[in-house]
Structure 1
Amino acid sequence: MKVKDLAVLVVLGAVALFGYDKYKSYAADEVQSQAVQASRPVRPASPPVEDRSWIKSDAAPAAPGSASAGAFKCDGRTHCSQMTSCAEATYFLRHCPGTQMDGNNDGEPCERQWCN
């Protein structure tokens, strides 16, 4: 065995020993850290709140004329052809701006389609 080869082996052995020593100290610190955390009461993390307002409801639509006023909301519809009942048209006329469902301004919407 040459001196050069022996020197390389000594250097590699020293590097391996140094790395192993660092690994042992890291592993010991990790075990100690886990022991400290185990002694503390762990508070469960609250689950993140997810915005699901964009998902359509699976509920079946109500039969025409049977829904209460609480079931309707202003969503941009303005014409009788977009309504499904007289009650819905009446709600939209009374509560939503810009509706075009009462041609003669008598307060009764969609007289030819729904409210006749």
Structure 2
Amino acid sequence: MKNWLILILVVLVAWKLYTQNQATTPQAIAPTQPIVFEPVEKEFKPTITYHCDGRQNCSQMRSYDEALYFLKNCPDTKMDGDNDGIPCERQFGR
């Protein structure tokens, strides 16, 4: 019987210490301003400069952007058969 009383007393003291510790533990404080994540860097796109060098046909172009540049800026190109402003439609799937 004496052992049970000691056990109950130990449990009560432990419970009291536990609840006091919970009451004094600071709770997480909500930030006053929302956290905003911004990208560190924008996506890098290398600057490619084209120049008119006499190429006229789609087979001479390496990219759609290059063909578009040639169509808009260079004379005598043969890349827009239907004159809709879209060069090399079959080659670049546009």
User: Bigger relative contact order, structure 1 or 2, given CA contacts below 8 A and separation 6+?
Assistant: 2
State the TM-score, normalizing by the size of structure 2.
0.49
State the TM-score, normalizing by the size of structure 1.
0.40
